[in-house]
């Protein structure tokens, strides 16, 4: 919500979803969300609060969690979704204007579900993916104004197709594919310009510039896989992981990359993190960013800069 107050979500040692307020880099009060088995992501559109997206305890439906300006949970709502649908990504323009994305496992291959949440009603649309795939994964959703982009991938065997879906006013427009890419994150700096992060089939990390949903130039990371990405007006922070040297005693180290105008300008290693892997693991506001990943010796590590 600001450079002093962030919110992370996940699950505790009992397998129940929780939300933790991070103030000045220090974990504070934890809010536990009953009847959930974890959280998928959280979006904080302004200092007034956030909306988190939870995983119900029985995996049926979607849980929307209200978070106040202090980073504390004030309520949650279980919402029905069509059978087989899992919503896993959220991006909010306000506390009553959120876009969500996920998958429908009752289609073959699993299709993309995208829609809107206004605090009372959930509206969803199903978008089929290429039939050549067998497994569909949604990496994230990012919006600017009335336009959004959903990024992910579909796999079949060892091959992959990166997926880029444009959305306007909550309605899906066009699904495009990028051969050989796995997209784990997406961040938009305008209604036309976005950046998708991930890696290619042979393992190298990438950040791809998207213009109107069309893949353009790419930045490659030879020794790192990239996962999440978050952007300000012109500068983005992408996080990932690389193999740690055997002498360190660790398997992975966290990688933090800075990109300006889609061009890589700096990278740094965070050896306290066992790799920034997974989805929705970095946020940015102005020149400040916060990223979360597994700590080397258990629990989670929050890195700020």
Give all domains of the chain, ordered by start, each with its CATH number. Answer: 1-80 (2.40.10), 81-304 (2.120.10.10)
DSSP state of 247: G
pTM equals: 0.95
Residue 3 is predicted with a pLDDT of 93
Query: Residue 286 is inside which H or E element, if any?
Result: none
List, in sequence order, every beta strand (DSSP E) within 189-247: 193-200, 205-211, 214-221, 224-231, 235-243
Whose structure tokens read 């012109």? 234
State the average pLDDT over residues 132-146: 92
CB atoms under 10 Å from CB of 231, counted, come to: 24
Give me the sign of the Cα torsion angle 278, 279, 280, 284: positive
Burial of 24 (0-12, 13-18, 19+ CB in 10 A): exposed
Per DSSP, helices labelled H in 86-144 are: none
Nearest Cα neighbor of 279 from 68, 23, 48, 103 is 103
Residue 176 is predicted with a pLDDT of 97
CB atoms under 10 Å from CB of 146, counted, come to: 12
| 8 A C-beta contact, residue 101 and residue 91 | no
pLDDT beyond 80 at 15: yes
Residue 134 is predicted with a pLDDT of 82
- SS3 of residue 230 by DSSP: strand
d(CA 109, CA 38): 25
For the chain, the 3-state helix, strand and coil shares in percent, each to the nearest 5, are: 0, 70, 30
Residue 240 is predicted with a pLDDT of 97
Judged by phi (left if over 0) then psi (alpha if -120 to 50, else beta), residue 47 lies in: alpha
pLDDT in tens, 152-184: 999 977 789 999 999 999 999 999 999 999 999
pLDDT beyond 90 at 132: no
Is it true that the peptide bond before 109 is cis, omega within 30 degrees of 0?
yes
What is the C-alpha end-to-end distance of the chain, expressed in Å? 15
Instruction: Output the six-digit token pair for 202.
Output: 């042979």
Nearest Cα neighbor of 156 from 182, 139, 135 is 135
Percentage of the chain lying above the pLDDT 70 cut: 100
Going by pLDDT thresholds of 50, 70 and 90, the confidence category of residue 145 is very high
């Amino acid at each position: 919500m600001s450079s002093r107050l962030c919110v992370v979500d996940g699950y505790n040692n009992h397998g129940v979803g929780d939300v933790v307020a991070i103030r000045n880099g220090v974990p504070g009060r934890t809010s536990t969300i009953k009847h959930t088995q974890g959280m998928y992501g959280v979006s904080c559109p302004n200092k007034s609060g956030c909306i988190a997206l939870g995983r119900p305890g029985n995996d049926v439906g979607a849980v929307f969690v209200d978070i106040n300006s202090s980073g504390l949970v004030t309520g949650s709502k279980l919402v029905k979704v069509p059978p087989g649908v899992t919503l896993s990504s959220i991006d909010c323009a306000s506390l009553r204007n959120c876009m969500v994305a996920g998958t429908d496992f009752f289609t073959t291959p699993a299709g993309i579900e995208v829609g809107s949440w206004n605090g009372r009603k959930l509206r969803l649309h199903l978008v089929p993916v290429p039939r050549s795939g067998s497994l569909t994964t949604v990496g994230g959703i990012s919006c600017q104004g009335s336009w959004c982009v959903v990024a992910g991938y579909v796999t079949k065997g060892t091959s992959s197709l990166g997926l880029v879906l444009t959305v306007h006013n909550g309605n899906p427009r066009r699904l495009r594919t990028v051969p050989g890419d796995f997209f784990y994150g997406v961040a938009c700096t305008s209604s036309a310009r976005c950046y998708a992060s991930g890696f290619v089939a042979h393992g190298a990390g990438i950040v791809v510039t998207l213009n109107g949903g069309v893949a353009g130039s790419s930045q490659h990371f030879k020794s790192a896989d990239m996962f999440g990405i978050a952007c300000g007006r012109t500068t983005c922070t992408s996080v990932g992981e690389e193999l740690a040297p055997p002498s360190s005693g660790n398997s992975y180290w966290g990688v933090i990359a800075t990109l300006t105008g889609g061009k890589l300008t700096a990278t740094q290693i965070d050896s306290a993190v066992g790799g920034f892997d997974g989805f929705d693991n970095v946020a940015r506001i102005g020149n400040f960013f916060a990223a979360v990943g597994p700590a080397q010796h258990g629990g989670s590590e929050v890195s700020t800069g």
